[in-house]
Amino acid sequence: MELKSFIQKIHLLPPQLLEELAACFQFYEFPKNYYLLKQGRTCHQLWFLVKGAVRYFYTDEEGKEVNVWFSFEPDIIADTSSLIQQTPALESIQLLEDSSVYAIDYVVLQRLLQQHHAVALWYIKLFETHYVPQMEDRVGDLQFLNARQRYEKLLGQFPNITNRISLGHIASYLNISQETLSRIRSGKQ
């Protein structure tokens, strides 16, 4: 999906303002395993994923990586809390495939938000439609769904995920062992 189409899908902006906002994004191509953000660093950009796959994860006290979310094109990428509060990120964001992104710097975005009411409405809509439901959904899944139900829901959201994401990452996201995931996939659980 083209950047301008994605922006308009979130909230319609007048043509001139759409051009101004889109011009503030820079295009990048990054290799597989590149980190858009590392845990402990502040998120200074909002990214639009044009092509690729991304994982959000943190490393716990024992050094174990825990996956908390995956994103696939087209999607908005950011550590929301770190971006909004300009504080160190609790998660890392890593590309799992060669990827293409558009990025806008926090400072530039803040300037646009202050100058244009319509961009501020766009920004609010972005978080209302992408982040709030995602967070509530994730918490609810972990509270109310068993491992098989979480796996089936993940497949419903991302039908090709097993072709793009390692089973180890998927098991971590589902909060189960890789052995349990193998049993679920084989129908033995």
The whole-number pLDDT of residue 177 equals 93
The whole-number pLDDT of residue 133 equals 73
Q: Are 178 and 184 in contact (CB under 8 A)?
A: no
The whole-number pLDDT of residue 188 equals 66
The whole-number pLDDT of residue 141 equals 81
Q: Are 40 and 149 in contact (CB under 8 A)?
A: no
Tell which residue, 119, 44, 24, has the closest CA to residue 85. Answer: 44
Residue at token pair 């502040």: 42
Kindly report the pTM of this predicted structure: 0.91
pLDDT in tens, the chain (189 residues): 699 999 999 999 999 999 999 999 999 999 999 999 999 999 999 999 999 999 999 999 999 999 999 999 999 999 999 999 999 999 999 999 999 999 999 999 999 999 999 999 999 999 888 877 777 887 888 889 899 999 999 999 999 999 999 999 999 999 999 999 999 998 865
Element (H, E) at 173: helix 167-174
Q: What distance lies between CA 5 and its chain's CA centroid?
A: 18
